[in-house]
Chains A and B, each alone.
Chain A
Amino acid sequence: MTSSTLAPQRPAAHRRSLRGGLPLTRVSGLGLGVAMVWFSLLVLIPLAAVAVAAADGGWAGFWRTVTNDQTAATIRLTVGTALLVTLVNIVMGTLIAWVLVRDRFFGKRALEILIDVPFALPTIVAGLVLLALYGPGSPLGVNIANTRIAVFLAFLFVTLPFIVRTVQPVLAELDPEIEEAAASLGASRFTTFRRIILPSLTPAIAAGAALSFARAVGEYGSLVLLTGNLPMRTEVASVRILSSIENDNLDSAAAVAVVLLAISLAVIVVLDVIQRRVMRRG
């Protein structure tokens, strides 16, 4: 198997506990200090600034901003489409992983590379790529540009690798003897899949789904050219934040951003809970 794991996330089952290790020495302590300063300046303080800016207008101001008709519409569209895309990915991603692990055929390696393309491709290019087949002048004769289907399609494209790449290694490591044992005990192939294989894949699927959802919720680049960003129709949350920034209204940008960050945080917590559960199961 070529397994060019481009998806950034190792599957949950592969992420072992980081427990233990040496106490810090003077040099490693200094290194940790430098790394933490850099990480704080780059990530933690800026993200804190977003929260502070969102709180500037008080709770009432925050609530007014995020329940504004146009803004609420973007959040609904973003979260709703992201959920839908994640559901499709759960089915298709598992299916693709299954075929890549269990089947052998000419061209499989090419498919492996195709899986990773959406991860490495610049998002603006991803939008352009989809426009070439599904936009005006499409060789298929369909034109979904500037519709909500375009949002769905863009999300589907950019989140393709996540579930495939988290499920694939777990599936590859499943002991075929377990399936043979189930079969020898009289289980049908479907029963074996549902009762034996699926439960072992669930943590990996959940981890991939969380990542895929988070990615979709924050997506911006691939939508710019594809969806037209029509208010109340195809405008997503990221685009809404950007137009607030461009109108120099940083506080309302921050308010919407906090909603997105809260969703991301929830996803990370879910991911962590899944990992802990997997680790406990050993």
Chain B
Amino acid sequence: MAEHSIVTRTQVGRRPGRYVLRAVVTAYLFLLVAWPLYLVARNAFADGFTSLNDILTDPDVTHALRLTVVIAVTAVVINTVFGVGISILLVRYDFPGKRTLNALLDVPLSVSPIVVGLALVLVYGGREGWFGPTLESAGLQIIFATPGMVMATVFVALPLVIREVVPILQEVGDEQEQAARSLGANAVQTFRRITLPAIKWGVIYGVVLSLARSLGEFGAVKVVSGNVLGETRTATLVVEEKYLNFDKGGSYATAFLLALVAVACIIVVSVLRPKEDR
């Protein structure tokens, strides 16, 4: 991957056009992303730390934050195990329908979060869902409960780990794994000692991306959660609810917390990534 990072400067030259392009791009990104983002931070601190303090002492909000973290972490764990497993199957093994599966794994990227929610309600809804009533009579409530919210979150973040790990697995090839096998390592030892270290950074990026996506999921969770105060309300739902109830300070403060985590995730990835290139 090292070659990818070589900056080719040939055609840039020293022409005025370069400065025009640079200015256009910078202005575009400034107006679309940087300035609005800054304003959220400023609005969050419009009254000093009052808003932030208020939301962090509001038990409903802290419950929502905790719930968000629990759901996101659970979803990330599931997607990491599934993602690494399916990546290895896709790259190292051959089976009928592999191409179709590969294409289907991208589907969650193109499905509206609201449709995701709807789809889960149709199958797991307690009253009319395909499996919902059966599961509910067995004591397992999915929709309007944490399992449904985890499923919705897993759905929307599903391809992220796979898309990071598959290219790396292809890049490293299988010779190292074969060498390990010929030196006496069994499947588990080969995975732990050879495969995992090789795909480590891909897995870490995938996990960070999935975490950012999972913490911020809104639409799908909104549909399946029922948005019950103090029970199934997540942080993103708090942002909406507070804004619509004219508690803009609280809304901006919560949004600021979420944005902070998201930006931190991006920075972590951008700091980590060059290490792999070295």
The interface of chain A, by Cβ under 8 A from chain B, is 1-6, 8-10, 14-16, 18, 20-24, 27-29, 31-32, 35-36, 38-39, 42-47, 49-50, 52-53, 92, 95-96, 98-105, 107, 109, 111-125, 128-130, 132-134, 139, 156-157, 160, 169, 172-174, 176, 179-180, 189, 192, 211, 214-215, 217-221, 224-225, 237-239, 241-242, 245, 250, 253-254, 257, 260-261, 264-265, 267-268, 271-272
Q: Give the most central of A22, A125, A192, A268: most B CB within 10 Å.
A: A125
Q: Are A245 and B223 in contact (CB under 8 A)?
A: yes
B5 at interface, CB cutoff 8 A = yes
B3 at the A/B interface (Cβ < 8 Å)?
Answer: yes
A133–B118 contact, CB under 8 A? no
A176 with B11: CB separation less than 8 A: yes
Measured CB to CB, the closest approach of chain A to B215, in angstroms, equals 7
Q: Which residue of A lies closest to B34 (CB)?
A: A114
Given A8-B160, A23-B94; A103-B123 close (CB under 8 Å): no
Indicate if the CB atoms of A4 and B239 lie closer than 8 Å: no
A43 near B159: Cβ-Cβ < 8 Å: no
* Sampled A-B contacts (15; CB under 8 Å): A16-B167, A32-B95, A50-B115, A53-B122, A92-B28, A115-B29, A116-B266, A120-B262, A123-B113, A128-B239, A179-B11, A218-B113, A219-B112, A253-B118, A265-B110
Given A111-B26, A238-B114, A254-B118, CB of A129 within 8 Å of CB of B36: yes
Having A242-B114, A261-B115, one finds 6 other A-B pairs with CB under 8 Å, namely A117-B263, A128-B251, A134-B36, A173-B3, A224-B240, A272-B103
Q: A95-B24, A125-B239, A128-B251 are in contact. Are A21 and B92 (CB under 8 A)?
A: yes
The answer to whether residues A120 and B212 also contact, given A47-B111, A47-B119, A215-B110 and a CB cut-off of 8 A, is: yes
Residues on B facing A (Cβ under 8 Å): 3-12, 18, 21-22, 24-26, 28-29, 31-37, 39-40, 43, 82, 85-86, 88-95, 98-99, 101-124, 128, 130, 151, 154-155, 158-160, 163, 166-167, 170, 187, 209, 212-213, 215-219, 222-223, 235-237, 239-240, 243-244, 251-252, 255, 258-259, 262-263, 265-267, 269-270, 273-274
Contact between B36 and A1, CB atoms less than 8 A apart: no
Residue of A nearest to B239 (CB): A124
Query: Which residues of B lie under 8 Å from residue A265 when comparing CB positions?
Result: 110
Which A residues are in CB contact (< 8 Å) with B122? 46, 49-50, 52-53, 250, 254
* Chain B residues within 8 Å of A95, by CB: 21, 24-25
> For residue B37, which residues in chain A have a CB less than 8 angstroms away from its CB?
117, 129
Most buried by A among B24, B26, B31, B235: B26
- Determine if B39 and A129 form an interchain contact, defined as CB atoms under 8 angstroms apart: yes
List of B residues within 8 angstroms of A53 by Cβ:
122
Residues B21 and A99 in contact, CB atoms below 8 Å apart: yes
Q: Is the CB of B104 within 8 A of A103?
A: no
Is the beta-carbon distance between A238 and B85 smaller than 8 angstroms?
Answer: no
